[in-house]
Amino acid sequence: MAPVPLSPVKVGHIDDVQELRNAKPTTIPERFVRDMTERPTLATALSSTSDIPVIDFSKLIKGDKDEVHSEILKLGIACEEWGFFQVINHDIELSLLESIEKLAKEFFMLPLEEKQKYPMIPGTLQGYGQAFVFSEDQKLDWCNMFALGVEPQYIRNPKLWPTKPAKFSETVELYSKEVRALCNDLLKYIAMSLGLRQQAFEEMFGVAVQAIRMNYYPACSRPDLVLGLSPHSDGSALTVLQQGKGSSVGLQILKDNTWVPVQPIPNALVINIGDTIEVLSNGKYKSVEHRAVTHKEKDRLSLVTFYAPSYEIELGPMPEFVDESNPCKYRRYNHGEYSKHYVTSKLQGKKALDFAKIHTKISN
């Protein structure tokens, strides 16, 4: 999806994490061992009162007036206070969720030589490998990734669409259509929760860019030392995450300085606000930092769709969200440039958004 950087990136040797796990090393290779401050601690929220909000999609689209109204209110609170929510009773067929998951698992179970027919070039975000690695001394995530640009057509690299397992590519296509429709619908209700017209985002985004990333987190003998995925916010407008059935709990979001695990709900989809919505709403809805941790015995699979405006779109806070008490927090920028910046920087919390932040001086 991203343009290939001008100078080749030196990333050093990157172990394939599934192969590494199969080799059962007695110690975790140094490149995966996080510095003390980055290690996942056990001090994560435990109580169910800290579960992320659940939105009933059927109430939004089929509910009576009161139900629609109260679900939109709930959605607004979820976006404002959490930046994350789970959607139940969405319209995507369960059989489709099951097929994509099954095929993704089959893909990751293929021999390494087969997966390496679709290599992720360092500094880009499509194909099989480790994304966001830009130097030889950078710590690595305990994760194998496979990513594809899906829409619009011109971002596709057809050489990276696998021929094995059979039906993989057509299922990605079918799944992506459904998730696209869901994103479109959710953005309508998110716009309404912000007091905007339903179509506000759709009209602004042009032909939305959509990509899919499959993350495979093998079990790790020392989950206390490694991270499955480094803390980051998503550079998208909206992200839709499907957690593999029977997978371990692994996704965590940073809320009030505590890492809160996202407990999977069967057949629900996890949605989060990306950087685009944070900018457009001038920070009213924020993209929340999240990460993935690993499990001692269980592997974990997640299927993640990123939905974002067209690259040529200029973005900045909408005037509706800027006034004297809410000064403009972000400059206007071209979304394509932001995407390029995002995919060519290492994942580091919310640092990517510094690209657009206006740093107000205290004096004046």
- Residues at the site binding Ni ion, with contacts judged by CB under 5 A: 234
Tokens of residue 246, six digits = 């029977």
Residue facing ligand OGA at closest CB distance:
302
Smaller CB separation from ligand OGA, 281 or 302 = 302
User: Given 3-state DSSP classes, what are the helix, strand and coil percentages for the chain, each rounded to the nearest 5?
Assistant: 35, 20, 45
| Tokens linked to 251 | 């996704």
Nearer to ligand OGA, 234 or 299 (CB): 234
Nearer to Ni ion, 164 or 346 (CB): 346
Q: How many residues contact ligand OGA, by CB under 6 A?
A: 11
**Six-digit token pair at 147?**
């990513």
Site for ligand OGA (CB under 6 A): which residue of 150, 208, 304, 308?
Answer: 304
Nearer to ligand OGA, 133 or 200 (CB): 133
And the tokens for 275? Answer: 């950087």
Nearer to Ni ion (CB atom), residue 92 or residue 211:
211
Q: How far is the CB of 294 from Ni ion (least distance, A)?
A: 16
Does residue 220 belong to the site contacting ligand OGA (CB under 6 A)? Answer: no
| 302 part of the interface to ligand OGA, by CB under 6 A | yes
* Dist CA 83 CA 279 (whole Å): 13
Using the minimum distance from each CB to ligand OGA, give the nearer residue, 120 or 200. 120
- Name the nearest CA neighbour of 41 among 267, 300, 226: 226
* Strand order across the beta sheet in which 269-273 lies: 54-56, 84-88, 269-273, 238-243, 300-308, 209-217, 144-151, 127-129
Three-state SS across 47-75? CHHHCCCEEEHHHHHHCCHHHHHHHHHHH
Which residues, in sequence order, are CB contacts of 193 under 8 Å at separation 6+? 72, 73, 75, 76, 79
Instruction: Kindly tell me which residue out of 21, 90, 290, 329 binds ligand OGA, with binding defined by CB under 6 A.
Output: 290
Per rule CB under 6 A, is residue 190 in the interface with ligand OGA?
Answer: no
Output 234 or 278, the one with its CB closest to Ni ion.
Answer: 234
Q: Residue 259 corresponds to which amino acid?
A: W
Residue 190 to residue 193: CA distance in whole angstroms: 5
Question: Nearer to Ni ion by C-beta: 141 or 234?
Answer: 234
**115 binds ligand OGA, rule: CB under 6 A:** no
| Contact predicate 34/226, CB 8 Å | yes
Rounded Cα distance between 225 and 136, Å, is 19
- Which of 193, 197, 201 lies closest to 75, judged by CA? 193
Instruction: Answer yes or no whether residue 213 interacts with ligand OGA by CB under 6 A.
Output: yes
Q: Segment 239-278, which members bind ligand OGA (CB under 6 A)?
A: 241, 250-251
Sole binder of ligand OGA in the list 101, 234, 289, 299 (CB under 6 A): 234
- Nearest distance in Å: CB 354, Ni ion: 18
**Interacting partner of 292 out of Ni ion, ligand OGA, none (Cβ under 5 to 8 A depending on kind):** ligand OGA
What would the DSSP string read from start to end of 107-166?
HHHS-HHHHTTSBPPTT---EEE--S--STT----S-EEEEEEEESGGG--GGGS---ST
Minimum CB distance to Ni ion, residue 66 (Å)? 34
Give the residue, chosen from 126, 210, 215, 281, that forms a contact with ligand OGA under the rule CB under 6 A.
215
What residues line the site for ligand OGA (CB under 6 A)?
213, 215, 229, 234, 241, 250-251, 290, 292, 302, 304
